[in-house]
Amino acid sequence: MTEGRDLLAQQLERYVHPQLGFSIDLAPGLELTEDVEGVALVAREGVDVDGFRANLTVVVERLDPGTGLEAYVDGSLAYQGPTLSEWRLLDRAPAALGASAAVRTLGLYVYDGLGLALEQWRAVVDDHGWVVSATCAALTYPYTTDILTLSAESLRPATRASS
Amino acid sequence: MSVSEIEFDPATGELLAPARVVEQLLAAARAAAPMPAGELTASGAVEAGAAHPRLGLALRIATRPLVELRLERGERSAAGWVALGGSALLVPVDDGRRRLLTLETSHLALALVRLNDLGPRPVDESRPVIALTPADLTRAVTARDTSVVPQTQADEREALGELLAGLRARWRVETHWTPPDNSPGTRSLEVLDSDAGLWLVVPDGPSVDLWPTTPTIVFRLLCGLLPHDQELGLFD
Q: Is B57 on the interface with A (CB under 8 A)?
A: no
End-to-end CA distance of chain B: 49
Q: Do B120 and A114 touch (CB under 8 A)?
A: no
Among the partner-chain residues B110, B120, B216, the one whose CB lies closest to the CB of A138 is B110
Domain boundaries, chain B: 3-115, 130-232
Among the partner-chain residues A92, A115, A142, the one whose CB lies closest to the CB of B106 is A115
Q: Do A139 and B108 touch (CB under 8 A)?
A: yes
For residue A34, list its beta bridge partners: none
User: Rounded CA gap, B167 and B195, in Å?
Assistant: 6
For residue B15, list its beta bridge partners: B8, B100
Q: Where is pLDDT greater, at A48 or B30?
A: B30
The three-state DSSP-derived secondary structure of chain B is: CCHHHCEEECCCCEEEECHHHHHHHHHHHHCCCCCCCCHHHHHCCEECCEECHHHHHHHHHHHCCCEEEEEEECCEEEEEEEECCEEEEEEECCCCCEEEEEECHHHHHHHHHHHCCCCCCCCCCCCCCEEECHHHHHHHHHHCCHHHCCCCCHHHHHHHHHHHHCEEEEEEEEEEECCCCCCCCEEEEEEEEECCEEEEEEEECCEEEEEEECHHHHHHHHHCCCCCCHHHCCCC
User: Rounded CA gap, B118 and A6, in Å?
Assistant: 31
Among the partner-chain residues B110, B120, B224, the one whose CB lies closest to the CB of A115 is B110
When the pLDDT of each residue in chain B is averaged and rounded to a whole number, the result is 93
Question: Confidence class of residue B124 from pLDDT cuts 50, 70 and 90?
Answer: confident
Among the partner-chain residues B106, B113, B224, the one whose CB lies closest to the CB of A88 is B113
Query: A114 to chain B: which residues are within 8 Å by CB?
Result: 104, 106
Which of B103, B216, B231 is the best mutation test for A, with the most CBs of A within 10 A?
B216
pLDDT digits (tens, 9 = 90+) for A51-68: 899 999 999 999 999 999
Q: Is B220 on the interface with A (CB under 8 A)?
A: yes
Q: Where is pLDDT greater, at A49 or B144?
A: B144
User: Rounded CA gap, B88 and B84, in Å?
Assistant: 11
pLDDT of amino acid B167 = 97
Q: Do A50 and B106 touch (CB under 8 A)?
A: yes
Q: Do B223 and A138 touch (CB under 8 A)?
A: yes
pLDDT digits (tens, 9 = 90+) for A92-144: 999 999 889 999 999 999 999 999 999 999 999 999 999 999 999 999 999 99
Q: What are phi and psi of B118, to 5 degrees?
A: -75, 130
Residue A148: which H helix or E strand, with range?
helix A141-153
- Is a pLDDT exceeding 80 seen at residue B235? no
- Is a pLDDT exceeding 80 seen at residue B183? no
Q: Is A75 on the interface with B (CB under 8 A)?
A: no
Q: What are phi and psi of B56, to 5 degrees?
A: -60, -35
Instruction: State percent of chain A over pLDDT 70.
Output: 96
Buried b (16+ CB within 10 A) or exposed e, B120-139: bbebeeebbebbbeeebbee
CA-nearest of A128, A126, A131 to A155 is A131
Task: Find out if CATH 3.40.1380.20 is the number for domain A3-153.
Answer: no
CB A154 within 8 A of CB A12: yes
Mean of pLDDT values over B155-180: 95
Residue A149: which H helix or E strand, with range?
helix A141-153
Q: What are phi and psi of A30, to 5 degrees?
A: -75, 150
Q: Do A90 and B119 touch (CB under 8 A)?
A: yes
For residue B194, list its beta bridge partners: B167, B197
pTM tops 0.90? yes
- Is a pLDDT exceeding 50 seen at residue B3? no
When the pLDDT of each residue in chain A is averaged and rounded to a whole number, the result is 92
Q: Where is pLDDT greater, at A130 or B236?
A: A130
pLDDT digits (tens, 9 = 90+) for B139-161: 999 999 999 999 999 999 999 99
What ipTM does the predicted assembly reach? 0.93
pLDDT digits (tens, 9 = 90+) for A84-99: 999 999 999 999 998 8
In chain A, DSSP assigns E strands to: 13-16, 23-26, 31-33, 41-44, 55-62, 85-97, 100-111, 114-125, 128-137
Instruction: State percent of chain B over pLDDT 70.
Output: 97
How far B120 CA lies from chain A's nearest CA (Å)? 4
Q: Is B113 on the interface with A (CB under 8 A)?
A: yes
Among the partner-chain residues A88, A137, A141, the one whose CB lies closest to the CB of B114 is A88
Question: Confidence class of residue B136 from pLDDT cuts 50, 70 and 90?
Answer: very high
Domain boundaries, chain A: 3-153
pLDDT of amino acid B148 = 95
Mean of pLDDT values over A29-36: 92
Q: Do A113 and B219 touch (CB under 8 A)?
A: no
User: Rounded CA gap, B169 and B64, in Å?
Assistant: 31
